[in-house]
Amino acid sequence: SAVISQKPSRDICQRGTSLTIQCQVDSQVTMMFWYRQQPGQSLTLIATANQGSEATYESGFVIDKFPISRPNLTFSTLTVSNMSPEDSSIYLCSVDGLAGHYNEQFFGPGTRLTVL
């Protein structure tokens, strides 16, 4: 079965620094998304990563804080910039169009970020 991987799996960072999270899929997908899951909470969509163009951000999320890249159909990065303790969360990528499953989203394992 197709695999979605994220790097790093977890990290502890100092406030004011930035962290880039990678999402890699082992086959081409149509859509890639980034979500945030705060401790013990539900999932909130940050943005849709568009291949070859700027990401589409949801209300409350901005490019300066969460720059996103998607250079091809299997890879995307999310950067959490100028971090504060409030950014401590699980960051998840999801994909649509995996292995012929269109209009269904599958999630990666997540990146657990702690900001001190």
Instruction: Return d(Cα 115, Cα 100) in angstroms, integer.
Output: 38
Report the residue number, 48 or 69, with the smaller CB distance to other proteins.
48
Identity of the amino acid at 114: T
Q: Applying CB under 8 A, does 88 fall inside the site for other proteins?
A: no
Binding residues for other proteins, rule CB under 8 A, total 18
Q: Applying CB under 8 A, does 103 fall inside the site for other proteins?
A: yes
In DSSP terms, which residues pair with 92 in a beta bridge?
A: 35
Dihedrals phi, psi of 4, to nearest 5 degrees: -115, 125
Instruction: Return d(Cα 107, Cα 2) in angstroms, integer.
Output: 11
Q: Applying CB under 8 A, does 36 fall inside the site for other proteins?
A: no
Q: Applying CB under 8 A, does 48 fall inside the site for other proteins?
A: yes
Report the residue number, 66 or 106, with the smaller CB distance to other proteins.
106
Q: Applying CB under 8 A, does 49 fall inside the site for other proteins?
A: no
Sign of CA dihedral 45, 62, 13, 8: positive
Judged by CB under 8 A, which stretch of 12-20, 67-75, 79-87, 98-106 contacts other proteins?
Answer: 98-106
Judged by CB under 8 A, which stretch of 12-20, 43-51, 62-70, 78-86 contacts other proteins?
Answer: 43-51
Q: Applying CB under 8 A, does 109 fall inside the site for other proteins?
A: yes
Q: Tell me which residue of 19, 12, 32 sits closest to 97, measured CA to CA.
A: 32
